[in-house]
Structure 1
């Protein structure tokens, strides 16, 4: 990994500049300088990619002085180009062209001619600097153009749950966890090298039997230099014990006592991942209560001394050692999946490479997995030519086997994938990031290539799938329908790439400071920007040029929020604000009530992405709403109830996420639909008594997700008419509330949605009085709909494609729910929550034959059920706040049918409002 990453970013900006200089109003000399700069950067990047030593930060083809000069030049170039593009309209008006000869030059040019001339001169100097870095011709290597599959070629983009080579260790770990020994025990896993400790423990941690055995499970990645108080706070906030207030104000002793008292009442499993100091365990030795109920702690570490000392009374630590050749090859073939698409003798041909593959992987599972996925990504018709080249190339590397494989896998990524992948190093180690958030950040940063035939979100999703398929990004959690929900960079990759990303100035992070008291979930703001550079002979780079600011949800507020507010104050301070005008991302998610100056947006006119999610702010400055480049505005889980009508003029807005926010109607519905022609997500819009067509919603033809709240019976049917015209809509959320008291009001779905071409996810809140639902629905959520027994039977027959059905509070008001035979043929997930009138539930033969997950919560009158034993595919049954008699009845039924493989949990939690 090296300068090819920032060079790729600069090339993207130069290509945008090339589009701008095609206009007649731009100084003609720029054209040549732009093309020469692109050619020179391509030459340098090719040399970097062809250099033999790909494991180092920069290939040895460049001297250290060349390296420093090159990076400085690249970052300075980015600053100049971003500044110029920010002040230059991409499309000039025809009127300007016509008046060019009539008006003085100053009036004809959007940017004064002398500014353009000065920029052209600076770009010319940049080209000279690039050429000066290395002007001697280099012999070209025979670098074959290896073609890799895209997600269109292979839909197998997900990692599997197989523990190839670790079966015995996993079995031993499970046995220790659920052994009959009642006293608290600490189980240590140790290996000096990256062997997959975290992945192994995570899969055991998520097993059904482990989830059933331990009522409380907590996972904590332990950074270095963590303070005891911070560790205790984060542990407490992960334990299901209701709302915690004021823990940040407690002393260490008070927190320790509270944790002890809480854990005494639970059988818990706590994972302390990547412990680097014995002092961490000493912090927790007292508050980890031993209630003699079988509680366990799992500790992973690279240090055998720590592993053996944390619990001298326990069995010896589980030590992970490099795989034997037999296990290594078994794991490699498990990850090398190209055989599904090739001739049957592919694996026989592969045997000739066995010795070389085993040699370069060194028995390390992460290296084996990465190499297996890399090789299986090669197009089938080029497979063995590509393998020959890559294996010979990797044999020339001189670092550890894992580092060599990591460097090789990174080098073989396309330039845009390199940028997207490295962006995850911005987040703390083991941090789970929302996939939706990540894709939108990639787009805002300009990492996603534009296309005339595909939406940026679809292209970004393909990038993610490819990185997942190569095991360079792992999926942390999934939604109920199987889609990716959160993801993270594997810990061993984060260890490798985070320092290198900082070295090349791709990111500048605060959460890595030695004196930083915050940890994963309470990290300091991270800035994806060039770090401050020393003075060199290259053009001077402006200090503190901030291109993005990304925060992480804070578990504690004090210091974290103070630094956030100081940062925001700096932006609007004219004496210190140089460079902030280029910011593309301002992500303040989780910062508690940050200070948003009324003119903040005027200093950040280049912003593409703004998130105030979970900040608790009361208002959004109009200067932010008026930003010309804004693509994503996330106001979810704030106290914002009103937004300026100028948001309808946001021509580039793609995602507007809110929670029941009122926005005045635009002056013209036609104007709003024209301005917001790119909008894809619009949620939480409160339209009250208005017709949604007056907002121009029927003209938002690119909408994929829409959420509306109405106030009257007469207005509820109108949104349904509106969405029938939105052929790309996939998700629709409709709430019908009484204006005065906020109670659910009646509505009926008018019009025919049965044949809607794309609508697959529907959420309805309000008293449902009938109507036709789309037959191709896959997810249906009902709340306060008060449907009766006959309607429930109809749903089972009319929705043959339904995968997920959620029946929340008062969605069903009958006493008896009968699922008829043949009903819900594809249903996989069913949730019955707070159905206060339900007394009996019957599953007839042939009903819900594919059901895998069933959750019944807070149905306090439910006394009996019949037919649960008929659900042959049921894997997980969760009962929450249910009568003990009902729970015992279910247990007896399952036991009598030998259904011990089903995860049955029964928790008593405080009810959650689903309104």
Structure 2
């Protein structure tokens, strides 16, 4: 009997270790992260659901009428202010209005920007310009060099004569709006501006023509509806009994109608088995403040329940500035470099890091901001109140130090990470003490005229054990040098896993960079960076992600770990040993001027890239090389994993459609500025079975025909060919979401 009990206890421990629950119960937190299918199902469920805006329906109706009202005889710019305490749902309501179909149809231009307590007008203007979506990525990069006044003039000219809607989220003082409004024309086109703020005086005082709308707390019925939608989503139908409902309602009442507290509580309980709700309820009762459940209380419990690596990932979010739009790809690279994500038999380190981010989103601790293919989160954001508790926890654990020029108080000398959000003074690094404990130094923002040698020298001298170094946004100048290059001493940082030098104006990399043999990510992206000389990275065999404008010769050797390569010239691609790139997931080949040499690109060069998911080609000469009939037969074998394909500026020698429409996993297809052979394009029945997005921009065509049963999964169709084709035929079912030019629908 004792032996049997020991075996039962051992099995119970193993179930908890590996996250194995009863078939009728939801998955439990803390288990193995290797179940890819469970992860994909959870992501599809959490992302595909429309954003829940419970209890704000009446508010949305009132404000939508204000947005769409056609004022008789007075169509000057009108403002709407949404105000209330943090966590009430101001941003969620503004987002619901912003994404309304009627609003999209009424306003030619729409833009969204965040402000926060510490703001720079120049950054706000840049965010509005990017959000408008009328400027190319290359032009946007050029604008990084513009002064604030130049951005003002540019934005004003873009909006002049247009009907626009601009949302300015999280304003803390009236001066922030005053510094911005000069760039927004006050014409008679019926323009609207929405602001959100916690401060009533700001809401009512921003303009004479303003409607100030105060958000209320949720009623109990609304609170319970919101809680139900999130807390019970993992539970099978019929498993929510009366006792569970009773406990849930008791906890919801203590949230006092604050939506943020409700969703964070629901996110915590959604990961609990029904049998564990009693213990969780008791824990909350012991931590009540003023007879209410506070956000900090729920966060503390949620944080305590997390596995160690997930705790580190959430604390890491405290490095980003307030209201910062966090690029998930960059965050993943940083988490991997910090050593917070490990690989296993099924998942790479990057997959594991993404899993952790999705876990935080599932817990309602992080908000998915931009969502791409298959529910993939591209950017995220942390609510101010949750960021505050994360910062507090990070300070308690000495996890990170945030440098602020306005606060000169001394900080602990044994922190492992330092982050700079505001501009660094000229003596910042030179005067600091050596901190041998520091492993990460990150800069966020922009600063012009930084002397390259002094900063890099100080870093290598005093912080030579760094794993992560991000200098992106510092506009470097170099004394007595025509070609701006990182100093040779960068090669002394031999422990680096991540080197971020995006938007720094660099032109070349020194030979000593070959010393960084465990470097995983080199981010040298940005329009101001252009590497026209030979760049030799052959010794960097640990490299996993390489981004930059490498218009000169690029040598990467046996890069068996490389997953991301953006971007490389066609000539450099032609001389690489492609058999060593079998783990490549994303590839961009770009011959945008100027490039030293070019070479034809053909399908054969991709035959070894069986894991490739994203391919972008901006090249002139592009061929199949083999006969089209043969290409059609083997296309699924050459690209078994390809999900996104973009062709820009190519003169195609043969019709690619018979081959492309056989790609088994293709979801996005973009053809832009291409010369199509003979000007005839046909997409046949059953072609592109999984395609969700098809863009045809400035492609020379005489005829375009999409058969009735082609593209059965299509969700987005944008047809803007060059000139006016003689014949365009698309199925009637595609008409509802077709954008651009088409003639007949059959």
TM-score norm. by structure 1 comes to 0.65
CA distance in 1, matches of 2:493, 2:582: 29
Q: 1:324 to 1:718 in 2, by over 3 A?
A: closer
CA distance in 1, matches of 2:114, 2:323: 7
Q: 1:359 to 1:855 in 2, by over 3 A?
A: same
CA distance in 1, matches of 2:179, 2:458: 38
Query: SS state of the match for residue 619, structure 1?
Result: coil
Which consecutive unaligned segments of at least 5 residues does structure 2 have?
A: 1-26, 409-419, 479-484, 592-596
Residue 387 of structure 1 and its aligned partner are, at CA, apart by 1.4
1:640 corresponds to 2:531: yes
5 Å-filtered alignment, 1:241-390, equals 260-315=156-211, 317-340=212-235, 342=236, 344-378=238-272, 383-390=273-280
Query: Does the 8 Å CA contact 1:264/1:289 hold for their aligned counterparts?
Result: yes
Residue 148 of structure 1 and its aligned partner are, at CA, apart by 4.7
TM-score norm. by structure 2 comes to 0.79
1:780 corresponds to 2:663: no
Query: Does the 8 Å CA contact 1:477/1:486 hold for their aligned counterparts?
Result: yes
Residue 707 of structure 1 and its aligned partner are, at CA, apart by 4.9
5 Å-filtered alignment, 1:662-677, equals 662=552, 672-673=557-558, 676-677=559-560
Residue 543 of structure 1 and its aligned partner are, at CA, apart by 4.6
Partner of 2:105: 212
Residue 251 of structure 1 and its aligned partner are, at CA, apart by 7.6
Q: Say which of 806, 829, 840 aligns to 2:670.
A: 806
Partner of 1:434: 327
Q: 1:361 to 1:698 in 2, by over 3 A?
A: same
Partner of 2:697: 833
Provide, for residues 384-420 of structure 1, a one-character-per-residue CA deviation record: whole Å limited to 9, x for no partner. 2321122211222244622212222222211211111
Provide, for residues 828-861 of structure 1, a one-character-per-residue CA deviation record: whole Å limited to 9, x for no partner. 211001113x244344433333322112335223
Query: Does the 8 Å CA contact 2:550/2:569 hold for their aligned counterparts?
Result: yes
Q: Say which of 549, 564, 570 aligns to 1:659.
A: 549
Partner of 1:583: 466
Query: Does the 8 Å CA contact 1:440/1:632 hold for their aligned counterparts?
Result: yes
CA distance in 1, matches of 2:710, 2:470: 46
Residue 679 of structure 1 and its aligned partner are, at CA, apart by 3.1
Provide, for residues 625-662 of structure 1, a one-character-per-residue CA deviation record: whole Å limited to 9, x for no partner. 321321112233421134554x3222422223343455
CA distance in 1, matches of 2:341, 2:615: 27
CA distance in 2, matches of 1:225, 1:707: 37
Residue 592 of structure 1 and its aligned partner are, at CA, apart by 2.5
CA distance in 1, matches of 2:499, 2:270: 38
Residue 293 of structure 1 and its aligned partner are, at CA, apart by 1.1
1:619 corresponds to 2:508: yes
Q: 1:396 to 1:206 in 2, by over 3 A?
A: same
Query: Does the 8 Å CA contact 1:753/1:773 hold for their aligned counterparts?
Result: no
Partner of 2:65: 175
Query: SS state of the match for residue 409, structure 1?
Result: helix
Partner of 2:496: 607
Partner of 2:709: 846
Query: SS state of the match for residue 271, structure 1?
Result: strand
Provide, for residues 676-733 of structure 1, a one-character-per-residue CA deviation record: whole Å limited to 9, x for no partner. 44333344344738865xx54414444434456797878856524xx33x54444455
Partner of 1:549: 441
Q: 1:150 to 1:811 in 2, by over 3 A?
A: farther
Residue 268 of structure 1 and its aligned partner are, at CA, apart by 1.6
Residue 502 of structure 1 and its aligned partner are, at CA, apart by 4.1
Residue 451 of structure 1 and its aligned partner are, at CA, apart by 4.0
CA distance in 2, matches of 1:613, 1:809: 28
CA distance in 1, matches of 2:112, 2:436: 36
Query: Does the 8 Å CA contact 2:76/2:189 hold for their aligned counterparts?
Result: yes
Q: 1:309 to 1:377 in 2, by over 3 A?
A: same
CA distance in 1, matches of 2:660, 2:487: 52
Partner of 1:698: 579
Q: Say which of 712, 718, 726 aligns to 1:855.
A: 718
CA distance in 2, matches of 1:226, 1:237: 17
User: How many residues of Structure 1 are paired with residues of Structure 2 in the alignment?
Assistant: 671
Partner of 2:456: 568
Q: 1:411 to 1:697 in 2, by over 3 A?
A: same
CA distance in 2, matches of 1:749, 1:619: 38
Residue 353 of structure 1 and its aligned partner are, at CA, apart by 0.8
Q: 1:658 to 1:281 in 2, by over 3 A?
A: closer
CA distance in 2, matches of 1:398, 1:507: 29
1:870 corresponds to 2:740: no
Which consecutive unaligned segments of at least 5 residues does structure 1 have?
A: 1-144, 516-521, 532-540, 667-671, 738-742, 761-771, 880-885, 898-915
Query: Does the 8 Å CA contact 1:713/1:745 hold for their aligned counterparts?
Result: no
Q: 1:407 to 1:649 in 2, by over 3 A?
A: same
CA distance in 2, matches of 1:614, 1:665: 22
CA distance in 2, matches of 1:474, 1:408: 19
Partner of 1:194: 87
Query: Does the 8 Å CA contact 1:165/1:327 hold for their aligned counterparts?
Result: yes
Q: 1:861 to 1:466 in 2, by over 3 A?
A: same
Query: Does the 8 Å CA contact 2:171/2:196 hold for their aligned counterparts?
Result: yes
Residue 147 of structure 1 and its aligned partner are, at CA, apart by 4.6
Residue 329 of structure 1 and its aligned partner are, at CA, apart by 0.9
Q: 1:781 to 1:295 in 2, by over 3 A?
A: same
Query: SS state of the match for residue 722, structure 2?
Result: coil
Query: Does the 8 Å CA contact 1:367/1:406 hold for their aligned counterparts?
Result: no
CA distance in 2, matches of 1:513, 1:864: 65
Residue 448 of structure 1 and its aligned partner are, at CA, apart by 1.7
Provide, for residues 139-179 of structure 1, a one-character-per-residue CA deviation record: whole Å limited to 9, x for no partner. xxxxxx97556763452233432322222222222222122
Query: SS state of the match for residue 549, structure 1?
Result: strand
Larger Rg: 1
Q: 1:600 to 1:473 in 2, by over 3 A?
A: farther
CA distance in 2, matches of 1:203, 1:755: 46
5 Å-filtered alignment, 1:709-748, equals 716=602, 719-720=605-606, 723-724=607-608, 726-732=609-615, 743-744=620-621, 746=623, 748=625
Query: Does the 8 Å CA contact 2:88/2:258 hold for their aligned counterparts?
Result: yes
More strand by share: 2
Q: 1:369 to 1:343 in 2, by over 3 A?
A: same
CA distance in 1, matches of 2:254, 2:435: 43
1:457 corresponds to 2:350: yes
Residue 255 of structure 1 and its aligned partner are, at CA, apart by 6.7
Residue 545 of structure 1 and its aligned partner are, at CA, apart by 5.0
CA distance in 2, matches of 1:392, 1:753: 65
Provide, for residues 588-647 of structure 1, a one-character-per-residue CA deviation record: whole Å limited to 9, x for no partner. 2233346554223244221110122333310012222321321112233421134554x3
Query: SS state of the match for residue 719, structure 1?
Result: helix
Partner of 1:497: 390
Q: 1:594 to 1:435 in 2, by over 3 A?
A: farther
Provide, for residues 769-808 of structure 1, a one-character-per-residue CA deviation record: whole Å limited to 9, x for no partner. xxx964775433334455589653x247634654222222
CA distance in 1, matches of 2:209, 2:616: 56
Q: Say which of 451, 466, 472 aligns to 2:359.
A: 466
CA distance in 1, matches of 2:79, 2:600: 63
CA RMSD of aligned residues (A): 3.9
